[in-house]
Copies of this chain bind each other. A is one copy, B any other.
């Protein structure tokens, strides 16, 4: 019995798409590659607007621009969803040098971590203790760390094939280094940039002081990988080497901002909502082309490509550009809160926030039944060299929608180059390849098309219930 049910499930699963789906998907890819809009939109967002840190003028202009562009698409509804966001500003550029002996200095490239406090106006100069992990702090203790600058220098694991795993294995140093080092009387923190490549760009990103009182917080900065290597080498030659750094950042009052939302209202099941999105804010050093201008303009093109391909969705398709993913997650949280308040039923949410590189597939956070249904569509994507369909995380902004029924997914592009640019001054439009971006938009649109057409019918679950 179990076997025949398995077979039934298999057959039902197998029939979950038709030949016309293959043709529709071909149309979607052709349209994106020959008449896509994601690249032109991203050009404007990156080159005309630039960086979009929450609360900045750039973020404000990006809200206005993307809203206007959505307005032009003839959607059923376009609106701004208010959300208060933190406003952290970098101030004047940071400055740092290594002092090998009095009067003998070497300039190094640093940038304040997002959320960090400033140094004193005259900067900080102190001896440096290099560590490889947060755990090492406890071993060294206050005796070794008091009055010192802690230098977190554990590199990303270059043998990881998925570079996001290498990032995940390293980013605790940036996220919690300052908070932990404070406990032992350190006066500052320097973190090796989250970058697999050796180069001269410092990479920012959020640091979190937790409940450390404001007057006890110590300044934290990232140092370029080349200069992390240099500092480490010099410390090996002479433990008395000092580091000086000065940064001028500050946390201001929260300001008003917005999630930007557009929707095509479903023709048959308007109350079943499918979300596709990215985050509109970026860090302030580059122009946020890969993180996450790419995801925003791909998401905008999803609703446009559906229309261009002559698809009239049964369900409501919503493009959401979330505000404040980078340093607060206020937009994602607000969207989910409002959705809950309004009793909205989200069946699927897809985020693109891993760069605008050649798409390789998706990862899914879903029930077994829904995942199996999605797997039945996999062969439809093979002509486009989309092979990766795995369980896993989705996206930070859509995470708050998780309620045990909604299917969450993340676009998974090739990850090899992502951390060359992530949160650094070189995350700029010239690092975007038009076709790669457009293939991502087409891949997202194709999946949204299938989910809209078939919904999630939980066949496996139903069979189990019958049994």
Which of A's residues lie within 8 Å of B, judged by CB?
Answer: 29-30, 33-34, 158-159, 161-163, 196-197, 358, 360, 383-385, 387-388, 414, 416-417, 420, 433-436, 439
Contacts and interface: CB of A to CB of B under 8 A. Distances in A.
Contacts of A196: 435
B436 A159 contact: no
A6 B385 CA distance: 29
Contacts of A435: 158, 163, 196, 416-417
9 contacts: A29-B159, A163-B435, A358-B416, A385-B387, A387-B387, A416-B435, A416-B436, A417-B433, A417-B436
A33 B29 CA distance: 33
A37 to B, nearest CB: 14
Contacts of A417: 433, 435-436
Contacts of A414: 358, 414
Given A29-B159, A197-B434, 14 more contacts: A29-B161, A33-B158, A158-B435, A161-B385, A196-B435, A358-B358, A358-B414, A360-B385, A385-B387, A387-B387, A387-B388, A416-B433, A416-B435, A420-B433
A258 to B, nearest CB: 34
Contacts of A420: 433
A388 B161 CA distance: 17
B436 A34 contact: no
Contacts of A163: 435
B433 A161 contact: no
A420 to B, nearest CB: 7
